[in-house]
Amino acid sequence: MNLSATGYWTDGAKENSLWSTSGGLRMCRCGTSFLLMDAIKLDIEAGPEIPEAEDVKPTDLPEAIANASSPRLEVMARRNYWRYLNDSYRQQYRAHRAAEDAMAKAWWRRVCKTSLATLQHVSRKLLGIKPKSDAQARCTFTVPTYHPTAEQLYNMTQLLSLILDEAEKPLNIDWLEVAELYREQGAFFQAEDALSRSIEDRQGVTRGVIQRLLINRSHEPVRYRI
């Protein structure tokens, strides 16, 4: 299975992912939601007249949460809702980063406009001389301010409570996710404690990103690459 994507977010969302991130949350034709892992497998081949169960639509997630038949299902519904509610911030983030990148490229073109400027720049790099403050300001990575709504904060709080109560047993607690939930709420000390309990993720990237954000006391969701 190819699980790659073109972009990853600290809240677990992915861009152009080749694999569904819904966690197996599906909508039955009867109007109730369920998890694929809880479905019973029958030794009967389904005919073409029986459609596959679809992902729960983002707008139907509040209903799925309210009518969840198990804590494990509620966790998945709230997790998907957490990411969905962050989507509006993702739009601001992309626009902000596109503008910042355009400014950085324009500045770089001005710096390299003459061969002398280029030579000076290369010489500074070879000699290990740091760029001037203007260059540093142009190259600083910034993101728009994150303002979670009361609904977002409540959902994150409830999701955290369910996860810490081990609602997903027999699955182990994902302490990276716990750290991110605390961080997005601005609870940095709790986030640092949760991060200290996490085992290094496979690529060793996500943990490092969250750790750097905690050092900077940043609570915004951030996009990165693996």
Summarised one tens digit per residue, pLDDT across range 154-171 is 999 999 999 999 999 888
What pLDDT, on the 0 to 100 scale, is given for residue 95?
92
More confident residue, 61 or 136: 61
Listed ranges 42-56, 114-128, 130-144, 172-186; the one with the highest mean pLDDT: 172-186
184-190 mean pLDDT: 97
The pTM of the full predicted model, rounded to 2 decimals, is 0.80
pLDDT bin (cut points 50, 70, 90) of residue 135 is very low
How far apart CA 154 and CA 206 sit, in angstroms, is: 25
Instruction: Give 147's Cβ-side CA count (13 Å radius).
Output: 3
Lowest mean pLDDT among 62-66, 70-74, 195-199: 195-199
pLDDT bin (cut points 50, 70, 90) of residue 141 is confident
How far apart CA 58 and CA 85 sit, in angstroms, is: 9
pLDDT bin (cut points 50, 70, 90) of residue 93 is very high
What pLDDT, on the 0 to 100 scale, is given for residue 31?
82
pLDDT bin (cut points 50, 70, 90) of residue 129 is low
Which of 150, 200, 195, 157 has the alpha carbon at shortest distance from 177? 195
> Is the model's pLDDT at 112 over the cut of 80?
no
